[in-house]
Chain A
Amino acid sequence: MNNELPPGLALQKVDERIMTLNVGPQHPGSGHMRIIVQIDGDFIVACDPDPGYVHRGEEKMAEYRNYITNIPHLERPVIHDSCNILYPYVLGVEELLGIEVPERAKYIRVIASELNRCVYTMYWLAIYGIFLGHSTMFMWPAGDRELLIDLLEKMTGARVTHAHFVPGGVRNDLPPNFEDVCLRQVNYFEKRIKEYAAIFYDNPILIARTANTGVLSRQDAIRLGTTGSVLRASGVDYDLRKKEPYDIYDELDFQTNVLKEGDSYARSKIPWLDMMESCRIIRHALQKMPKSGSVRVKLKPNPKGKGLDSVYKRVESGRGSLGCYIVSDGKPEPYRVKLSVGSFRNLIALPYLLKGEKLGNMPAVYWSLNYWPVEADR
């Protein structure tokens, strides 16, 4: 440790051939993030990701608010996937307080969570399109995403920041006639995203730019502890909806998508394939859902945990496993809330993937990690 200067400000010796380049921290469509790359000619020799520009202190804030008032701010790190980021927190609080959730609420949660996964993935896909200079691929997902946002708005009352999941169920029951509208929209949505194959995934330009770039081997994917689409694109079949089913995922019919290549193309394809599975899950859940019944267990104000206790819950979000570690000390506020998010866990792979790549391939590799800067910083 250097006492005089903070480590980041200390002078460093560099090779004369090597140029250091700061990419960012301007807003590339998602949140501020800087990647410091060292290049030799056109090739990246070292890369140092520098997150933290959108650090909001969510975990600190959570220690000052009670279990219920934590809900609206804990979803802020990734508002496009707000149901999934609240999911582990809500499951954890339910375990701490010993709440049993009504059956219908579990189905509503799964439907909301899958709709949200699609909404997030469409936004991510739109940005992936524009990162590669494919502006049609920016417009199409951004437009088709509205179909599902409308559904979620009907369901929760808000377009993106839903705050719909609460300990004990969901905030509101479904509006009348929701099932029919949902089925129609989801079927149309699925038809639309299948068309992306022709314009994007089978496009030789996309394949040329992403295939065989940033290859992450199966062994490295495991060693680095990556998760979600990054892990499954490297041939590891690990999806928490199958491996550790929460709510009613074990009763629903779907499969997980695994590819073996481990390159940027495979990583960009997995979320798209996942969206089709999400449509299947939504249809199946709509069919199996109890047609009426309670959707929320009423709690007394300021619920408290039962003394010193801790719980770690995890769900599969749009960016992989999303864990929430809650420590309670018997007060109405949690003693500590830690969010272990997929973006943060996948970031560790970036220096490995970029080493030896051309600088021009950087956007394709970076965004294929399914990385959301705001979520990683929390």
Chain B
Amino acid sequence: MSSDSDNEPIETTSDVTPASTKTNPTPEKEIELPKFEKGLADKIVEKFGTRVKVAFVKPDRVRINVSRDDIKEVAEFLRDVLNFDHAESVSGVDYPQDKEIEVVYHLGSYTDSSLSRQVLVLATRAQREENPIPGNDATKLPSLREVFYSVEFHEREIFEMFGVYFQGHPDNRRLLLPEDWADLPPLRKDFAIKGR
């Protein structure tokens, strides 16, 4: 371990309260927004208006929140007009207190060189059930597999790990978990690790 006295510890000692953290990002946004990324976000807002919500515009990253009914249309727009051609990653995030599960698509582009640094984050939320019956409850989202072929395995993984059924996905079988897994979807917050 190096012993550098000139580097101050980064973290502040005071406990960060949720209220104060929410005010923090707003002044930063007013100062400056990256130009290219702002342009991307504006194009999407211009097309869809209030149906999309721009969550943040950071250098190389733009995040768009949409409802489950609009996600397919927005994804088609991103592919056909803005040239995003593949999904880098699809993640699920469980929010039990909101009774929702978020599915986050990270989209990138190989063909458009101006977008090669960019990752467009497209997020939507599905209803979460307390006692899930994966595939047979209300936790459903439209699949983006017809729009971005590359989400095929990612969506299969989210179905088994979070119980989000993707309507229109041709192959909703298990991928990583055993075929006879009969417990809760393991990446949900209420699935606890033993001893922790």
Contacts and interface: CB of A to CB of B under 8 A. Distances in A.
Interface of A: 1, 3, 6-9, 51-52, 55, 57, 59-61, 64, 97-99, 102, 168-169, 171-173, 222-225, 231, 236, 238, 243-244, 294-300, 303-304, 306-308, 310, 312, 314, 321, 323, 325, 327, 330, 335-336, 338, 340, 344-345, 347-348, 377
Contact of A225 (B1, B2, B87): B87
B38 interface: no
Contacts of A6: 174, 179-181
A298 B176 CA distance: 38
B178 A52 contact: yes
Contacts of A340: 88-89, 91, 106
A364 B153 CA distance: 23
B91 A336 contact: yes
Contact of A297 (B10, B110, B175, B176): B10
Contacts of A236: 110
Contacts of A8: 173-174, 179
B177 A52 contact: yes
A109 to B, nearest CB: 14
14 contacts: A1-B135, A222-B85, A224-B149, A225-B86, A225-B87, A225-B150, A244-B60, A294-B4, A307-B18, A314-B119, A325-B104, A327-B93, A338-B91, A344-B153
Contacts, number: 155
B96 to A, nearest CB: 12
A300 B15 CA distance: 13
B132 to A, nearest CB: 13
B6 interface: yes
A299 B2 contact: no
A149 B91 CA distance: 34
B34 to A, nearest CB: 14
The majority secondary structure among interface residues of chain B is loop
A243 B24 contact: no
Given A55-B176, A243-B117, A294 B6 contact: yes
Contact of A323 (B89, B177, B196): B89
A303 B11 CA distance: 7
A9 B104 CA distance: 31
Interface in B60-102: 60-61, 63, 85-89, 91, 93-94
A358 to B, nearest CB: 25
A127 B106 CA distance: 32
Nearest to A52: B176
A347 B193 contact: no
A61 B89 CA distance: 19
Contacts of A7: 172-174, 179
A22 B150 CA distance: 25
Interface in B20-62: 20-22, 24, 60-61
Q: Which of A61, A295, A310, A330 has the most CB of B within 10 A?
A: A310
